[in-house]
């Protein structure tokens, strides 16, 4: 049977003002499709995400008003770059600059309905921008145009307001770049919480669970070795729950030697039956240099080898894993069942391959599953604390939460960079993550 394609849209119930996993809401309303951006992995904005966004809103607009349900859609960029969706509309983009280590916000027109009524600053009148005023008076569009502005206007994202209309844009160095403009009239929308989102989507969640359990039972039927590969992350926590409901409780976790203390504590709290230990990661790093995004030699040495060693003598082993299509471009072609090319006796099955992070979180909340505390702290993914796949924004979080670990790795990188002739500034901006620095990092 052909797998359904990756979904590129998110459906939204305008009556309940909440996201839908399927096309139809429990209230009976057909959802409206909102286009997502690649890799289309919509996820809820968690507390730490909301704090960053509301902090920026307060700074620029004097209000931190956001609906309870906000969706993020990570997308390409120099570092963290999330499309923010609120009230079923594009609210804007949250980006992290790896050079300055600061977040910034760019608004989309959907932010107007959230902000305009509550903003105490950051709102400018059209008459403040004479050239834009003239364009509007002459019936010309202003969206997408750049206008000179007087020096007293605020720098950064702004709202522009005039008779029944509004626009969003950014003021920088004496110019206003208008992004989008349109008609605007205040409207009241419901402000549901995440529990409401779960009940509006309950039949889809039940279907997802049912078909994942059926898939696991079908693939594992008759096998003598069936285990869950538990990474400490949200996806494998869900995979483990689905396996348990399918009747399989064996699980292993590989301690690479560079695990976050939070992850080790979480693994311990769950009583994972098998903790496998990799060889000395530091010794490997001293020999091979740091792993890179484009050369993750550590995956094989620190993750796959201990599993292979542990599975030896068990015959063919079915491994239930939490890998998903939406995690990255590389995983978008993930097959439901695949033999491990490094160890042919291991057969990986992926019951949540077609779930987005939104499904994963809603399912976890519905089933009240425990969660690695790193998510609440602001990490989007969980792995080694110095993983090159981490974003620079997450590395900045490591600096705040575990300054000792951060210092250890930076000291190592500086010494390694000194020997390899790599510029200190480039290391500080995160260039060490790539063996061959991509063009986006040169900007
Ligand atoms: S999580 Fe990152 S650092 Fe750890 S083994 Fe995997 S690729 Fe390497
Ligand atoms: Zn509804």
In this structure, which ligand is nearest to the CA of 299?
1
Q: Nearest C-alpha to atom 2 of ligand 1 is from which residue?
A: 387
Q: Nearest C-alpha to atom 6 of ligand 1 is from which residue?
A: 299
d(CA 406, CA 403): 5
Cα-flanking dihedrals φ and ψ of residue 410, to 5°? -65, -40
Q: Which of 279, 307, 380, 389 to mutate to test the pocket of ligand 1 (most atoms within 8 A of CB)?
A: 389
Q: Do residues 165 and 182 make contact, with C-beta atoms less than 8 angstroms apart?
A: yes
Cα-flanking dihedrals φ and ψ of residue 237, to 5°? -65, -40
Whole-number Å distance, alpha carbon 299 to ligand 1 midpoint, is 6
Q: How many helices (H) and strands (E) does the chain have?
A: 15, 19
Query: What pLDDT, in 10s, does the model give residues 133-177?
Result: 999 999 999 999 999 998 788 899 999 999 999 999 999 999 999
Structure tokens given for 297? 């030699």
d(CA 236, CA 353): 11
Q: What is the pLDDT of residue 2?
A: 61
Q: What is the pLDDT of residue 375?
A: 97
Q: What is the pLDDT of residue 365?
A: 98
Whole-number Å distance, alpha carbon 196 to ligand 2 midpoint, is 10
Cα-flanking dihedrals φ and ψ of residue 431, to 5°? -65, -15
Cα dihedral across residues 176, 180, 185, 189: positive or negative: negative
Which atom of ligand 1 approaches the CA of 296 most closely? 7
Query: How would you classify the pairing of strands 343-349 and 337-340?
Result: antiparallel
Average pLDDT for runs of 10 along the chain of length 443 = 80 98 97 96 97 98 95 95 97 95 97 94 94 96 95 91 96 95 92 98 98 98 97 98 98 98 98 97 93 92 95 96 91 92 95 98 98 96 95 96 97 92 86 80 62
Q: What is the pLDDT of residue 442?
A: 64
In this structure, which ligand is nearest to the CA of 31?
2
Q: What is the pLDDT of residue 441?
A: 67
Q: Nearest C-alpha to atom 3 of ligand 1 is from which residue?
A: 387
Give yes or no for residue 43 CB within 6 A of ligand 1. no
Q: Which residue is it, tokens 């042919």?
A: 344
Q: What is the pLDDT of residue 1?
A: 52
Q: What is the pLDDT of residue 332?
A: 85
Q: What is the pLDDT of residue 226?
A: 98
Whole-number Å distance, alpha carbon 20 to ligand 2 midpoint, is 8
Give yes or no for residue 306 CB within 6 A of ligand 1. no
In this structure, which ligand is nearest to the CA of 256?
1
Q: What residues have a C-beta under 5 A from ligand 2, the ion?
A: 13, 15-16, 25, 27, 29
Give the DSSP letter of residue 434: -
Query: What pLDDT, in 10s, does the model give residues 36-59?
Result: 999 999 999 999 999 999 999 999
Cα dihedral across residues 196, 198, 199, 204: positive or negative: positive
Cα-flanking dihedrals φ and ψ of residue 422, to 5°? -100, 135
Give yes or no for residue 383 CB within 6 A of ligand 1. yes
Task: Give the rounded distance of the alpha carbon of 272 from its chain centre.
Answer: 26
Which atom of ligand 1 approaches the CA of 303 most closely? 5
- Burial of 116-130, coded b for 16+ CB within 10 Å and e otherwise, reads beebeebbbebebbe
Give yes or no for residue 234 CB within 6 A of ligand 1. no
Give yes or no for residue 298 CB within 6 A of ligand 1. yes
Whole-number Å distance, alpha carbon 382 to ligand 1 midpoint, is 10
Q: Nearest C-alpha to atom 4 of ligand 1 is from which residue?
A: 384
Q: What is the pLDDT of residue 182?
A: 96
Residue 192: CB atoms within 10 A of its CB come to 17
Q: Domains of the chain, with CATH numbers?
A: 34-183 (no CATH), 201-388 (3.40.50.620)
């Amino acid at each position: 049977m052909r797998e359904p394609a990756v979904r590129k849209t998110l459906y939204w119930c305008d009556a309940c003002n909440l996201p839908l996993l399927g096309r139809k809401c429990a209230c009976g309303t057909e959802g409206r499709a909102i286009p997502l951006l690649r890799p289309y992995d919509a996820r809820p904005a968690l507390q730490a995400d909301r704090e960053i966004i509301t902090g920026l809103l307060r700074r620029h607009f004097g209000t931190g008003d956001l609906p309870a349900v906000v969706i993020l859609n990570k997308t390409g960029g120099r570092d963290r770059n999330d499309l923010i969706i609120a009230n079923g509309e594009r609210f804007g983009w949250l980006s992290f600059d790896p050079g300055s280590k600061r977040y910034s916000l760019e608004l989309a027109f959907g932010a107007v309905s959230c902000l305009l009524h509550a903003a105490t600053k950051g709102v400018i009148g059209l008459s403040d921008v004479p050239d834009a005023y003239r364009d509007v008076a002459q019936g010309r569009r202003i969206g997408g145009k750049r206008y000179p502005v007087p020096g007293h206007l605020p720098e950064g994202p702004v709202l522009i307001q005039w008779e029944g209309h509004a626009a969003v844009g950014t003021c920088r160095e004496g110019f206003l770049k208008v992004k989008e403009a349109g008609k605007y009239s205040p409207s009241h929308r419901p402000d549901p919480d995440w529990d409401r989102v779960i009940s509006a989507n309950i039949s889809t969640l039940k279907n997802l669970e049912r078909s994942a359990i059926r898939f696991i039972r079908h693939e594992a039927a008759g096998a003598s070795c069936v285990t869950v590969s538990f990474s400490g992350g949200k996806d494998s926590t869900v995979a483990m729950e689905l396996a348990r409901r399918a009747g399989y409780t064996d699980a292993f976790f590989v301690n690479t030697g560079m695990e976050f203390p939070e992850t080790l504590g979480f693994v311990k709290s769950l009583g994972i039956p098998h903790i496998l230990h990799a060889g000395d990661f530091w010794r490997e790093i001293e020999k091979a240099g740091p792993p890179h995004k484009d050369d993750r030699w550590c995956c094989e040495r620190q993750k796959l080898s201990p599993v292979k060693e542990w599975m030896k003598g068990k015959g063919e082993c079915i491994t239930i894993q939490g890998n998903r299509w939406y995690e990255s471009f590389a995983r978008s072609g993930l097959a439901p069942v695949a033999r491990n090319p490094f160890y042919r006796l291991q057969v990986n099955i992926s019951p949540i391959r077609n779930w987005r992070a939104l499904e994963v979180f809603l399912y976890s909340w519905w089933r009240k599953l425990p969660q690695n505390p790193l998510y609440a702290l602001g990490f989007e993914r969980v792995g080694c604390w110095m993983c090159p796949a981490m974003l620079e924004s997450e590395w900045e979080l490591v600096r705040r939460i575990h300054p000792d670990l951060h210092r250890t790795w930076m000291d190592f990188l500086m010494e390694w960079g000194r020997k390899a002739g790599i510029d200190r500034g480039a290391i500080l901006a995160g260039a060490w993550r790539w063996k061959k620095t991509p063009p986006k990092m040169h900007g």
